[in-house]
Amino acid sequence: MRLFGFLTVRAFDIVDIVLVALLLYEFFKFVKGTKATPILVGLAFFFIVSFIARWLDLMAFSWIMRSILAVWVVAFVIVFQPEIRNVLARIGKQRSIKFFLKVEESPVIDEIVDAIRKMSEDKIGALILIEKSIGLKDIIETGVKVDAQVNSSLLRTIFFPDTPLHDGACVIQGDTLVAASCVLPLSENPSLSGQYGLRHRAALGISEQSDAICLVVSEETGKISFAYKGKLVTKVEIAILKRSLETILLKA
């Protein structure tokens, strides 16, 4: 196919353009609403200025731009490190064969759901982080090691008001409660309503940087929420919470 009488466009060129467009669309959708958005706008502005400088043949300014461009790849990786790690981890954990596996009941999920239900009824604030494929070693090291079998009574004891470990998050790996009183990064999502406190912001923050699922019980209202893949779901019924955990932890 010829365009404008001199430009030849092959079928593979069209496929190439479509793939690049899809890649850019998914990338922009991924960073939308995160702290990476304004940084990405700044980088785009930088490259536009660099292009204009070369087009106008501004020798000195172009030399400065070329010097900066020599390290832009390293800078990009550093700035977007959490987002890049999240994307690569999601790609690496894909297992197509899991679609055919039978989902079995998990006693750990039952114990977690039972604890959440009772803490919700008693309006006991809680923050429970469940690890998936991305390791949470840096988070675990901020808390107190527990290394105990997950059970409802233990979780409720930890989060009982005024106990030494009730502040912060519990971290669960498989069927083991590995640590308590862990510190989570707070989300900087500008669209997050001011009505949400530190627990909700912490839950959303860790879900933006890992593939873990974070459960929240509000101390003020007793309402249940959970954060996963950068999304916060609020006012969750206990039956829906259990189905969501089974879908995320057993089918994923």
Low-confidence stretches of the chain (pLDDT beneath 50): 4, 96-104
Structural contact between residues 28 and 19, judged by C-beta atoms closer than 8 angstroms: no
Q: Any idea where the domains of the chain sit in the sequence?
A: 2-96, 99-251
156 alpha carbon, distance to own chain's centre:
26
pTM of the model: 0.60
What pLDDT digit, counting tens, does each position of 77-135 carry?
676 666 666 666 555 555 543 444 444 456 899 999 999 999 999 999 999 999 998 88
Residues 195, 54: Cα–Cα separation, whole Å: 49
Question: Out of 3.90.1200.10, 3.90.180.10, 3.40.50.300, 3.40.1700.10, which CATH number does the structure's domain 99-251 have?
Answer: 3.40.1700.10
